[in-house]
Structure 1
Amino acid sequence: MKHLISMLCIGLCALTHLYAYTDDKDTVTVNYAAIAGAADLDYVRPVLRSEEGMPVGNGRMGTLVWTVPSSLKFQLNRVDVFGNSSASNSFYERNTDYCGGTGYMDVDFGQDVFTAPAFHQHLSCYDGLTTISGRNVSARGLIWEQEDVLALEINDRRGASLPVTTELRMLRMPVTRRGSHVATCKLRQEGDYIILTQEFREDGYYCSSALVAAVSNRSVEAEQNAATSIRLRTLPGSPEFTVYAATAASFDPSEDVVKAAIGKLEAARKKGFTALLNDNRDWWRKFWQRSYIQLHSDDGQADYVAQHYAWYLYIMGSSSRGKYPVKFNGMLWSTNGDERKWGHLYWGANQSCLYNALFQTNHPELLDPMFDMYSRAYDSYAVAARQQWGSAGIYIPETTGFDNTPVLPDSIAAEMRDLYLVRKPWEQRSQAFKDYAYTQMPFLSRWNWKKDEGWKDGRWRTGTKSNSTFGHVSHIFSRGAKIAYQYWLRYEYTQDTAWLRQRAYPMLKGVAEFYRNFPNVRKEKDGRYHIYHINDNESIWDGHNTVEEISAMRGIFPVVIKAARLLHTDSDMLPVWREFLDHLSPLPEQKENGKTTWCRSLLPVLQGNPSWHPDGNTMPVWFFDLCTLESSRDIQQTGNDTYDTYFDNGIDSTAGIYVLSKLPSTGALLGRPEAVQYLVTNQLRRRKNEEVLANRMDLSEGYQTTNVQRLGRAAEALQLALCQSVPAGPGQENVIHVFPAWPKTWDAQYALLCRGGFVVTSAMRQGNIPFVKLEATQGGVCKVHNPWNGAVALYRNGKKTQVLKGVLLSFATTKGEQLTLQQEQ
């Protein structure tokens, strides 16, 4: 516990230096180093488990850094290493596929040096640097921002110049076979490098990685002491030397990943550790200046929330800048090999925990890996819509691989449509279909009806979860709508018309056309379009007009219509989409005790309780801007009445909140300060008997799943409580609200990005809002909900230009203009 106490003390001490307010109402002084530094980790005792190590990464490659008495320990992971594709036929048993790892690295000093009380380890979030010290030994470590290189500067001050060994170890045996999948690991020495390579092959699939290590400023000799490891032993020499380790990966068999890794290593070695550190400091300094949140309350709760918010930003900055989004289950922080609970697939709901909060941080680069992955697979989503569902447009599954959705044989696709659309009895499926399905990955949405039954007589047995085509994620279509809506949000936050045309609009149109042409969407006698035989997230199977899917359609169609008008395209489709939207069934609801609340589904359903309130982990009505502070009074009343059904005893410090829950952010969207004061803090701490690791991460998804899902959810709620830009409905004009759900006893100052491209800076001091500053990054009309009662003075570039009145403040801006709003005296 001592290292935890020390870590907390360091964070609280840093927080005391955050605030530099003056008597001037609109003065903004920001100590970015202190804001980031509040999230630093500080251990005075070695952690007892590797999962509690300190994370360093550059968004593509990362590792936790931990110690055993004689060694520094690392597992070098990447976002672009996958043992198999989603077309694999070799991983039909759940949780057996793997991804991410390139190899272990140990730096061993030959005797116990990292033990208390001489031990100290610190992570600086402001520059991505970890420092470790022990008995007469110290080290500084980082992963270079420009290339995928770990650099470790060592100072060995022990009296005798003892050898230090750098060892690379395989994550598995040299050859591993599973079905037609083969994983091959090899070790070799080349010059002064030691090298560990991996190759994964299955039918036409290929992926490879290389991990290369070398030492500068000491002579070395290499030795392979075991089949699975190789060492560089330093010879006596200078007390100061540097260990470098570089990685590379590729899906191209013709690419030399060893050459690529050596090139990176040599680029780093040429610059030297000090220059690498300066590069990192420059990058992180710019990173922290893009946005910020600083908080304080007398009870320390606000400070605690701010610390975890900065930590969330550090983790995402360290892990989400590669070709693929970082995975929810382990991220770049696996320490015990590359097997992990839930395997290599991406769950949309879990990924949203990491990515939904990033829009307001003003870091679009951290969202790019997610968008890039989905855009690359667009054509395969179009094929899947036709093959699997007999629809048009695109189908993005809830669970998907990093790659394209596999193409099906025509005969299997035809039978799948009949079965999955409930046109053919499940018990009449053909033997050919059963045989084909047997080897498919059961976590993939289209095969998620499969149930593990274990090994018997040397054969893996599978059944069905419900004696039907339905499983937890088999008939979820709203994920595609949520992904497409995020493309739309990126446009709204950046006002990038090229993005809207090239990236967002195809997604929006593809999802809209999927719904409009879906065979189980029918116009009934009531004149409304209904949707049948679908899920409501994982809880309702085979539902009718589920809240997830009705919300998705009510969100997507207004924005695809608006996008088409902005782009002056598809004019012939506008009346078609409008007719569909105008006749779409309303959100499912129920009336009880004189109140109207939204529920999950209309009857009938195969499994689940249709009268339950919307899934607390997804909250689809609020995701699609269907209920906001700008909505009608009736909609807001229904939203608040629905929200109250989650908390029979009200909201206070005893309210437990699940890791994935969106209830804190939904409460913020409804303007409820208690959702932030209690739910956010409780979500960060987790529920009773649920563990939080010393590095503020957790293993909530099972083994090898070190993650920050709860931090992402809490960050989203925090931002929305401080500042939100919302429309009365999807595709309508956005209005900025400052401090819409903020506890009056918490002081705050922030700079966050709002829709329309406005960077909003404001503060609350003892319940008062002294100013609202806006930077119009793109120009255009800005609408702000008046944060004061009465008239408001508008300053443009420091000069008072007009006085605004009313509940809604609306004014024109030009690109790059700086504006300030203050209460008129």
Structure 2
Amino acid sequence: MEGDGVTTQTVAWQEEDVLAIGIEDKQEAPGAITATVRALRPPVVETKHHTATSTVDASEDRITLVQTFEEGEHYCTSAIAIGIVGRSVRMQQPTQTEAQLVAEPGQESFTVLIATAANFDRDVNVAAVARERLDHAVAEGADGIRAANERWWKEFWSRAFVHLRSEDGAAEEVEKHYTYFLYLMESSSRGSFPPNFGGMLWNTDGDYRRWGAQQWWTNLSLYYRGLFPSNGIELTDPLFELYSGMRGACATAARQQWGSEGIYVPETTCFNGLADLPDDIAEGLRVLYLLEKTWEMRSQQFREFAAAKHPHTSRWNWKAPGRFDDGHWTYTDKGTGPFGEVNHFFASGPELAYLYWKRYEYTRDGTWLREYAYPMLRGVAEFFRHYSNLTRDPDGVFHLHHVNHSEPVLGAKDPFDALVGLHGILPAAINAAKTLNVDADLQSKWFDLLENLVPLPTSDHPDSIHSRDGDGPRIWASAFTPAASLPNPDSLWGEFDVRCRYYDFDIATLETRNPCENPERFELAEATFEQCHPNGVGLETRVPVMSSLGVIAARLGRASDLKNALLNQIRAKWPEEDFVEFDETGQLAVLPNRYDTARRQSGTRSATARQRRVRITRGSLSEHSPWSRSRARYPCLSSVASGVGRRIHAALSQRISRDRVDEGGQGGFCGGALPGRRDVPTSKSVGERSHTGVPGRETAGRRGRIDGDRRYGRR
């Protein structure tokens, strides 16, 4: 960065939580340069049961800020420490909430080092940890940090890059975004928590997401579904640490909220899962949510308890936005009883559990399967098996009642996305149990459920939400009636119709066309795609930020549709109709690629032709990225980049998965270590950064089969 005679060069150290800023002042009359830490609030702020404490310190030529948050048993503390190397400094503390480190005037270059630390443990002195990291950085030196980063990025790109070429330049454009996505993910995936969807870690002017710090699974999963073939499996560590860490809370939620066993994975929740409920509240909530009592029978105690709960959480999502009325917080429901867009939303659990299973399939890590994947698969399968509104009819067929199909269809019968998830994870759970030689009794019970589970809903059923169009083709339906609430019928054919969720479970791929597999299911997938896109995907087809259209096209072998879907999504031609925030972030000089940042307040969408051509600024990519030397400028979105990564992987994996069946098979693309080969670096377990070669035989082309002869609920 350069301006007014002062040049800075910033490096984020790969090995420690330290930022090194090299500064060179070539002004004729250089002045002092000041580094400041400032608390965001008074030293102590108490809000009911919550206490926020901020402490600044200036000592030993270092300045620090420590922030601590306490509420009940919850404790979280963080520290930032700043030091300067290469210039004489003086310290000053102008106020109780501010400390400064002043570099005296001079023209010699110097380095500002910024270190951070955070912990949930009351016994850890995070200020001392941050200062220790500063010491490590001083010992390494700026040149040492830069050299270490160069080695680190060189190793990463050697195994993660994909090289694409085409006469029209489209392949090169896709390659840029694919690479940029991996750069973003690697730059924000070194801790215990995944980056939040919508700006990731780069919201530099505050967090305006209306759901706060909660993770929204459908959104968050877009970053992770395509990572396994990239040879960057360690990038998924934060995701799995997050959800494995809340497994106990998910088990409690399954029991308290739904009267079930296993684990309930909420669509929206905080990092530690849903909160424990008082027993009487849990009982009242449970009978309402299972429709054992009418909504009008909810108690005053329940209404008052719900008043202060967050309406985006997958427990209180029946609440409409509240407001203050004469000094009192008031709220209403949405008019659909206990149902909300994410209240009876059950697709998240199977999707997450299957992602655990896929990591095992790519790594063949038995420890991972035993300690992480199988507990999640088992928990989700048991949640459904014990869910009281999964019932068996007189013919022996299991049906699912009062469950959402994604967000638009509330409280329906046999919703597509929950059912496709159940058809997907039951074979995986059985296969995992067989591999581990555990739970023989559950294997037989899961197999019975799978064998007798209602097929995915189709349009030829008299209760189908999607009525068959005369002699038109038989297609998949979102759900059957009765339902608590349905959207406008026209929207059922829209881009966000998530009957596309079948792609998460590999139940309709090119392999499925094989007569020995399930050609009928493949035909249904094709017919449903063509119903939504009768003319295919053209250059003017709207492909939103969160669309999975490219993945679906790849799974169905539709090359032209895949290409157009990728390019349209990257180029964001219709930002005013999308989750794209030009007014608040698109025009900024800092990180203008954050188009998917959550909208502020009114949520208005607007864009001008000039705004639509916003380019990424120079220097946003790593010095060691393949593009840094040319300082390429191109339009970019972090979420679109993630979509591109998933779609490239979907297209490549169609071939790679077949090649991987035989040990040592090689995929058909140019890159580093190929997915499926023995030289794939894989993480040993969550939280470990070391890697080993993949042992044993790869069978990604046969995901979820039981004894090799059953494919995902094929009936």
TM-score range (shorter-chain normalised) is 0.7 to 0.9
| 1:254 to partner: Cα distance | 2.6
For residue 625 of structure 1, the aligned residue among 498, 506, 519 is 506
2:670 aligned partner: 749
Deviations 1:473-531 (A, max 9, x none): 00112211111101100011111122112211111111111111100010012321001
Cα pair distance change 1:446/1:410, threshold 3 Å: same
Question: Shift in Å at residue 447 of structure 1?
Answer: 1.1
- Name the CA distance, whole Å, in 2 between partners of 1:483 and 1:367: 12
Which residue is 1:253 aligned to?
Answer: 122
> How much does 1:304 deviate?
1.1
CA 1:416/1:623 → structure 2, altered by over 3 Å: closer, same or farther?
Answer: same
Report the Cα distance in structure 2 between the residues aligned to 1:783 and 1:534, rounded to whole angstroms.
31
Label 1:618 to 1:256 Cα distance change in 2 as closer, same or farther (>3 A). farther
Contact 2:341 2:408 in 1 (8 A): yes
User: What does residue 494 of structure 1 align with?
Assistant: 363
- 1:605 maps to amino acid: A
| Contact 1:419 1:425 (8 Å CA) reproduced | yes
CA offsets, 1:527-560, max 9 Å, x none? 2100101111111111100001110110111111
Q: Aligned pair 1:560/2:429, yes or no?
A: yes
Match of 2:614 in 1: none
Kindly report which structure 2 residues correspond to 1:117-136, keeping only aligned pairs within 5 A, or say none.
132-136=1-5
Q: 1:332 aligns with which of 198, 201, 208?
A: 201
Counterpart among 655, 665, 668 of residue 541 in structure 2 = 655
Shift of the alpha carbon at 1:709? Answer: 1.8
Partner of 1:545: 414
CA separation in 2, counterparts of 1:419 and 1:360?
Answer: 44
1:299 equivalent in alignment to 2:216: no
Q: Structure 1 residue 364: deviation in Å?
A: 1.6
Deviation at 1:594, TM superposition (A): 3.4
The 5 A counterparts of 1:594-605 are: 594-605=472-483
Q: Following the alignment from structure 2 to structure 1, what is the Cα–Cα distance between the partners of residues 267 and 656?
A: 26
Aligned position for 2:485: 607
- Give the direction of change, closer, same or farther, for the CA distance of 1:629–1:403 in structure 2 (3 Å limit): same
Aligned residue in 1 for 2:87: 218
Pairing partner for 1:367 from 233, 236, 239: 236
Aligned to 1:641: 527
- CA gap of 1:146–1:758, structure 2 versus 1, over 3 A, is closer
Q: Determine helix, strand or coil for the equivalent of 1:447.
A: coil
Q: Which residue of 2 aligns with 1:696?
A: 593
* Offset, 1:223: 2.6
Render the CA deviation track for 1:94-125: whole Å, top value 9, x for unaligned. Answer: xxxxxxxxxxxxxxxxxxxxxxxxxxxxxxxx
Listed one character per residue, the Cα deviations across residues 416-462 of structure 1 (whole Å, up to 9, x for unaligned) are: 11000011011111111112212222221011111113111112211
The SS at the match of 1:188 is strand
Match of 1:667 in 2: 553
**Equivalent residue number for residue 85 of structure 1:** none
Q: Is the 8 A contact 2:412 2:481 kept in 1?
A: yes
**TM-score (normalised: structure 1):** 0.72
Go from structure 1 to structure 2 and tell me whether the alpha carbon gap of 1:736 and 1:512 turns closer, same or farther (over 3 Å shift). Answer: farther
Residues 749-758 or 567-576, more deviating: 749-758
For 1:620, the aligned partner's letter is R
* Structure 2: 5+ residue stretches without partners: 461-467, 513-517, 604-635, 682-691, 703-715
**Which one-letter code corresponds to 1:749 in the other structure?**
C
One-letter amino acid of the counterpart of residue 643, structure 1 = F
Does structure 1 residue 687 correspond to structure 2 residue 573? yes
Residue 350 of structure 1: CA displacement?
0.7
**CA distance, structure 2, for counterparts of residue 550 and residue 276 of structure 1:** 50
Q: Which residue of 2 aligns with 1:576?
A: 445
For residue 341 of structure 1, report the CA deviation from its aligned partner.
Answer: 3.6
CA spacing shift, 1:594–1:601, aligned 2, 3 Å: same
C-alpha change, 1:457 and 1:610, in structure 2 (3 Å) is: closer
How far off is 1:616 after superposition? 4.1
TM-superposed CA distance for 1:184, in Å, is: 2.8
Deviation, 1:754, is 4.1
What is the identity, as a one-letter code, of the residue corresponding to 1:628?
T
Within 2, Cα distance between the matches of 1:603 and 1:267? Answer: 63
- Tell me, yes or no, if the aligned pair for 2:403 and 2:410 is still in contact at 8 Å: yes
Counterpart position of 1:716? 646
User: Unmatched 5+ residue regions in structure 1?
Assistant: 1-131, 740-747, 761-774, 786-825
Q: Tell me which amino acid in the other structure corresponds to 1:780.
A: R
Aligned equivalent of 2:257: 388
Cα 1:726–1:620 shift into 2, 3 Å: farther
The secondary structure found in structure 1 opposite 2:296 is helix
Matching residue of 1:589 = 458
Match of 1:50 in 2: none
Report what 2:712 is aligned to. Answer: none
Higher mean C-alpha deviation, range 147-156 or range 216-225: 216-225
Task: Give the match's secondary structure for 2:159.
Answer: coil
Cross-structure match for 2:292: 423
Give the 3 Å change call, closer, same or farther, for CA 169–298 of structure 1 in structure 2: farther
CA RMSD, Structure 1 to Structure 2 (Å): 2.9
Give the direction of change, closer, same or farther, for the CA distance of 1:735–1:290 in structure 2 (3 Å limit): closer
Deviation at 1:175, TM superposition (A): 4.6
Instruction: Supply the AA of the counterpart residue of 2:416.
Output: V
Match of 2:688 in 1: none
1:298–1:637 distance in 2 versus 1, CA, 3 Å: same
Deviations 1:352-383 (A, max 9, x none): 11111211111121101111111122122112
Q: For the residues of structure 1 that align with 2:488 and 2:370, how far apart are their CA atoms?
A: 39
- The equivalent of 1:447 in structure 2 is 316
- Say if 1:784 and 1:354 are closer, same or farther in 2 by CA, change over 3 A: closer
Q: Look up the match of 1:797.
A: none
Once residues 782 and 508 of structure 1 are traced to their aligned partners in structure 2, the CA distance between those partners, rounded to angstroms, is 19
The alpha-carbon deviation at position 564 of structure 1 amounts to: 1.3
Match of 2:275 in 1: 406
**Displacement after TM superposition at 1:736 (Å):** 8.7
The alpha-carbon deviation at position 252 of structure 1 amounts to 2.0
1:668–1:720 contact (8 Å) kept in structure 2: yes
Pairwise CA distance, 1:183: 2.4
Moved more, 677-686 or 613-622: 613-622
What is the 5 A alignment of 1:34-433?
Answer: 132-226=1-95, 228-338=97-207, 340-433=209-302
Whole-angstrom distance in 2 between the partners of 1:370 and 1:357: 13
Separation in 1, partners of 2:158, 2:498: 31
Q: CA offsets per residue over residues 574-613 of structure 1, 9 Å max, x none? A: 2211111111000011143331111110011111249735
**Cα deviation digits, residues 236-277 of structure 1 (max 9, x gap):** 345211101111111122321111111111110122100011
Classify 1:288/1:177 alpha carbon distance in 2 versus 1 (closer, same or farther; 3 Å): same
Post-superposition offset of 1:679? 0.8
The structure with the greater share of residues assigned to strand is 1
Aligned to 1:799: none
Distance 1:756 1:494 in 2: 10
- How many angstroms apart in 1 are the aligned matches of 2:241 and 2:407? 26
Residues 664 and 677 in structure 2, CA contact (< 8 A), matched pair in contact too: no
Q: Distance in 1 between matches of 2:664 and 2:425?
A: 20
CA pair 756-458 structure 1, distance change in 2 beyond 3 A: farther
Partner of 1:129: none
- CA distance in 1: counterparts of 2:457 and 2:376, whole angstroms: 26
Write the distance in 2 (CA, Å) between the matches of 1:337 and 1:549.
Answer: 35
> Under a length normalisation based on structure 2, what TM-score does the superposition of the two structures give?
0.83
In structure 2, C-alpha distance between the alignment counterparts of 1:523 and 1:735, rounded to whole Å: 45
CA-to-partner distance for each residue in 1:10-53, whole Å, 9 max, x for gaps?
A: xxxxxxxxxxxxxxxxxxxxxxxxxxxxxxxxxxxxxxxxxxxx
Deviations 1:130-150 (A, max 9, x none): xx2234322211111111111
User: How far has the Cα of 1:628 moved from its partner?
Assistant: 1.1
Aligned-residue offset at 1:666: 1.1
2:349 to 457, 461, 480: 480
1:780 pairs, out of 694, 697, 700, with 697
Q: Is the 8 A contact 1:144 1:276 kept in 2?
A: yes
Change in Cα spacing, 1:467 to 1:650, as seen in structure 2 (3 Å) is closer
Aligned to 1:535: 404
